[in-house]
Amino acid sequence: MRLAEASQYAYAHLPDAKGLVAEDHPHAMGLYWGATSWPGVCEAVEAASHVVTAGTVWTDYSTTGWSLLLQPSKVIKVRPPAP
């Protein structure tokens, strides 16, 4: 949430993150879940020049059977440092 507020960028969440981010925040686009995303969210995320992910775990569930069309070259992964 601090990153979204500091950057002023819109954000979407995967089903596994529901409850971790505010869905009523002014920058919230809604649920990104491949072909079953909320209206307009899939198109906005997949058309973005870059997508920042934080703690994302890509599985067949979170991608709706790998139906996401994100280009790996556009994804910036944020992960905690290794112990």
> What is the model's pTM?
0.79
* DSSP class of 67: -
Q: What is the pLDDT of residues 14-72, one digit of tens each?
A: 888 878 888 899 999 999 988 888 889 999 999 999 999 888 888 888 777 777 788 88
> Rounded distance, CA 76 to CA 53, Å?
6
- Domain spans in the chain, listed from the N-terminal domain onward: 1-78
* pLDDT of 43: 92
* Fold entry, domain 1-78: Rossmann fold (3.40.50)
